[in-house]
């Protein structure tokens, strides 16, 4: 097992204050490693970065077509959204077409990350609903698939037909047998794989080389929906949304909790998977930005790229006290990969 490498530095003035260590791998659809840092065989939980794989059965089964889902709903099925009105209104409308309501979700409720939505709830004296959960779009997809399969309501049970379909798709795309799963924050199983397996899955989505015509079409629809609706995949002020906008549809990317980030690049038919050892989101954002820039998908001088790759650190008075940057080992002066 290879050790994690220092991938991101935190500077305060002229002093290197701390480093984030982690792992990253770029693969093609055959599972071949193009570039790697750290351990490509690291077994990890991809968390919300797996949502595109979890959504594959929704589309390839015919459930999405049966329900008349549009690209907006497909983007939401892959989302970790802010709970803003543009997210919750669409998810509620989706539920209504299924004849279901908030109580049919199994994701749990939490405050929306969107400030305007949160403040509106406070002013109205209301509690957040499950639709405000950042995973409610994924769960609407699970409910749609459960109805299509004529399965029971407990769709997050690991032995439920929905989750059996998810596991089959996950293992088929990663090319590995998952060694197990953890229960995610939204109560659904989150299957483990290797970093190389996850990057391979992203590359297979990029290349349309999944081994199945139906799955190829499903992957293409999900990737295109994310690229078309970056505002639904995350929300304003979020790395997924801002970086996808900056790339103009060249790549679809997705964050996951505990320092995970993945990317799907249809042009070069490549996939990226990143895992930061200490779980820091700022480090995962810096790494994915640097790799997208080195692969030519993102202009390194774009404001969004500068924000996440060379972002300033400010104090409570707004004084710039330091900055984040990728290590020389990762960035290599921006040398193309």
Q: What percent of the chain has pLDDT over 70?
A: 100
Given pLDDT bands bounded at 50, 70 and 90, which one contains residue 299?
very high
Predicted confidence at residue 159, as pLDDT, reads 98
What's the rounded mean pLDDT across residues 186-196?
98
Domains held by the chain: number? 1
Predicted confidence at residue 1, as pLDDT, reads 73
- Would you state the structure tokens that stand for residue 164, as one six-digit string? 């059996």
74 vs 266: CA distance, rounded Å: 18
CA angle, 318 as apex, 313 and 322 as ends, to 5°?
Answer: 25
Given pLDDT bands bounded at 50, 70 and 90, which one contains residue 84?
very high
Give the three-state DSSP class for 226.
helix
Report DSSP letters for 158-221, one per residue. TTSHHHHHHHHHHHHHHTS----EEE-TTSSEEE-EEHHHHHHHHHHHHHT-SS-HHHHHHHHH
Predicted confidence at residue 298, as pLDDT, reads 98
Predicted confidence (pLDDT) per residue in 94-111, tens digit:
999 999 999 999 999 999
Over 80: is that where the pLDDT of 290 sits?
yes
**Backbone dihedral angles phi then psi of residue 34, each to the nearest 5 degrees:** -90, -45
For residue 41, give its domain range. Answer: 5-334
Query: Any idea what the CATH number is for the domain that residue 54 is in?
Result: 3.40.710
Predicted confidence at residue 9, as pLDDT, reads 98
Beta carbons of 51 and 226 less than 8 angstroms apart = no
Beta carbons of 80 and 136 less than 8 angstroms apart = no
What's the rounded mean pLDDT across residues 122-142?
97
- Would you state the structure tokens that stand for residue 111, as one six-digit string? 């405050």
What's the rounded mean pLDDT across residues 45-68?
98
- Would you state the structure tokens that stand for residue 202, as one six-digit string? 């992203």
Predicted confidence at residue 65, as pLDDT, reads 98
Separation of CA 216 from chain center:
19
Which neighbouring-strand residues pair with 252? Answer: 264
Predicted confidence at residue 174, as pLDDT, reads 98
Predicted confidence (pLDDT) per residue in 252-289, tens digit:
999 999 999 999 999 999 999 999 999 999 999 999 99
What's the rounded mean pLDDT across residues 222-230?
98
Distances in Å between the Cα of 79 and the Cα atoms of 54, 71, 239, 254, 300 are 11, 12, 13, 8, 25
Predicted confidence at residue 182, as pLDDT, reads 98
């Amino acid at each position: 097992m290879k050790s994690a490498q220092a991938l991101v530095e935190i500077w305060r003035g002229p002093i290197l204050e701390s480093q984030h260590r982690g792992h990253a791998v770029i693969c093609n659809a055959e599972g071949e490693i193009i570039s790697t840092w750290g351990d490509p065989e690291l077994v990890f939980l991809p968390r919300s970065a797996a949502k595109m794989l979890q959504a594959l059965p929704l589309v390839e089964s015919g459930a999405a077509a049966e329900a008349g889902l549009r690209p907006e709903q497909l983007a939401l099925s892959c989302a970790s959204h802010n709970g803003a009105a543009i997210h919750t209104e669409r998810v509620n409308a989706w539920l209504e077409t299924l004849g279901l309501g908030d109580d049919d979700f199994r994701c749990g409720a939490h405050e929306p990350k969107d400030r305007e939505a949160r403040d509106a709830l406070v002013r109205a004296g209301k509690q957040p609903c499950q639709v405000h959960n950042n995973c409610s779009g994924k769960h609407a997809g699970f409910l749609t698939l459960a109805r299509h399969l004529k399965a029971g309501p407990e769709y997050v049970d690991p032995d439920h037909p929905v989750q059996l379909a998810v596991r089959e798709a996950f293992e088929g795309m990663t090319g590995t047998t998952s060694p197990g799963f953890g229960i995610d924050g939204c109560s659904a199983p989150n299957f483990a794989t290797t970093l190389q397996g996850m990057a391979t899955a992203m590359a297979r989505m990029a290349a349309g080389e999944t081994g199945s015509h139906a799955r190829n079409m499903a992957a293409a629809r999900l990737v295109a929906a994310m690229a078309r609706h970056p505002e639904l995949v995350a929300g304003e002020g979020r790395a997924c949304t801002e970086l996808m906008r900056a790339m103009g549809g060249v790549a679809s990317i997705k964050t996951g909790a505990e320092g995970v980030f993945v990317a799907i690049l249809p042009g070069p038919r490549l996939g990226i998977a990143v895992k930061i050892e200490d779980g820091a989101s700022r480090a995962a954002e810096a790494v994915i930005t640097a790799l997208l820039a080195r692969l030519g998908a993102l202009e390194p001088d774009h404001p969004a790229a500068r924000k996440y790759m060379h972002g300033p650190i400010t104090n409570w008075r707004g004084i710039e006290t330091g900055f984040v940057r990728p290590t020389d080992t990762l960035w290599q002066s921006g040398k193309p990969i």
